[in-house]
Amino acid sequence: MPSSNSDSLINDKLFRGNIFIFQAFDVGDDINLDKLKLSGDIIPKIVLLSKYFKNYHTPLAIELPEKQKYISAKIHNFGAISLTYKVPFYDTLNNIRKNLEALDNEYELQGIVDAEVIFKKSKKYITKSNFFHTRSSYVVIQLYPDPKLDTVTLKDNYGSVIASTLRFETQTLSEYQKDEILASAFGYFRGDLIVIDTEAACIYDDEYEETLDFFEFANIQHLELRYFDRVLDQQLNNFYEGKVRKVPLGAYLPVVGTLAKGPIDELGKLKVDISVITERLEGSIKIAGEPFYTELYALLIEKRDLKNLKESIDKKLTIMNDVLSVLQQKTDAIREDMLTVSIIILIFLELIIALFR
């Protein structure tokens, strides 16, 4: 009987906190933020860039036309829109688990509506605009600590609920799955705890604001890497199926051909763009000497599969580089043959003229 009362107290315990929903949309190749900022089509806000981030891609923070429960809306110059929503709660963890998927779906639709409004206002400043190629989302559940509930007790009493919530499951997971999710839990101070999984995370801390920047950044990285992986897949499929745009005849002409723009140049530009953006995104974080944020970001890379996505892109870029080399060699060979034929024709014409004289 005492055990039953104890379980009831655990299940009925109310937690205060916030649910943060991060969404990102890829809407084009790049965006001219300077022109957009001066256009009057959007209402810019001051960007509070974290000290842990370099200003390679300082985004343009804006006001949304209609007030929602968002805390930030940003436009990034590499063709992305990111939105962060904040939903406060005072409820049991069981109810949070039960309602989380529905809430996420609701804000997924709201995110599409809000991002489309921003896209329409920015469209004329976007190169190769398209709403939207790819989207990425992530959920963070933040709980304010209870002085009477330390992190060990939290994991013991509520670990199963937290683990299944992070998997968007309404039923209790197996012990194996629960232990796997909670195994990587960590914190900085004694009363703090962060549990990170593939689609969601839980933060047991009241000083969480700076941590959110890393979740938002990892979600944008995930978006861009997935987008580039998709683009490279499409290009490689085009090669395989023979759908690559034909090299124009002018490209084979000596001297003139080197100035002509063909599919080789387009693919070369795509390769450079992907390499530059992925490297800059990877190098945008400066957390040397910060063990807590180093561990946090390393876990985000692992759980969001960013390393494997980057490796996949690198492999496809290598394949594309080989294909470009073959195409370039073929073009150069034809160009040399045409030059040789031109010289032979000129010599033949000279010989004919000489004979007639």
pLDDT tens digits for 211-236? 999 999 999 999 999 998 998 888 88
pLDDT tens digits for 305-326? 998 998 998 888 888 778 777 7
Is 260 a residue whose pLDDT tops 60?
no
State the DSSP H helix or E strand holding residue 70, giving kind and residue range, or none if neither: strand 70-76
Of the chain, the end-to-end C-alpha distance in Å amounts to 122
Residues forming beta bridges with residue 139, ordered by sequence position: 21, 200
Residue 3, CB half-sphere, CA atoms under 13 Å: how many? 0
Looking at residue 198, its amino acid is T
Q: Cβ(166)–Cβ(199) under 8 Å?
A: yes
Is 5 a residue whose pLDDT tops 60?
no
Cα 162 to Cα 93, 97, 174, 179, 209: the distances in Å are 8, 8, 13, 11, 21
pLDDT tens digits for 99-140? 999 999 999 999 999 999 999 999 999 998 998 889 999 999
Q: In the chain, where are the structural domains located?
A: 10-208, 215-356
Mean pLDDT across the chain? 84
Q: To which residue do tokens 């990877």 refer? A: 282
| C-alpha 260, offset from chain centre | 34
Stretch 191-208: mean pLDDT: 93
Read off the tokens for 165: 């919530």
Q: How far apart are CA 48 and CA 46, in angstroms?
A: 6
pLDDT tens digits for 65-107? 665 666 789 999 889 999 999 999 999 999 999 999 999 999 9
**Alpha helix (H) ranges present in the chain?**
2-12, 33-39, 93-122, 151-166, 175-182, 209-241, 263-282, 291-303, 306-356
**Ranges 107-111, 194-198, 263-267, 328-332: which has the least confidence:** 263-267
Q: How far apart are CA 270 and CA 263, in angstroms?
A: 10
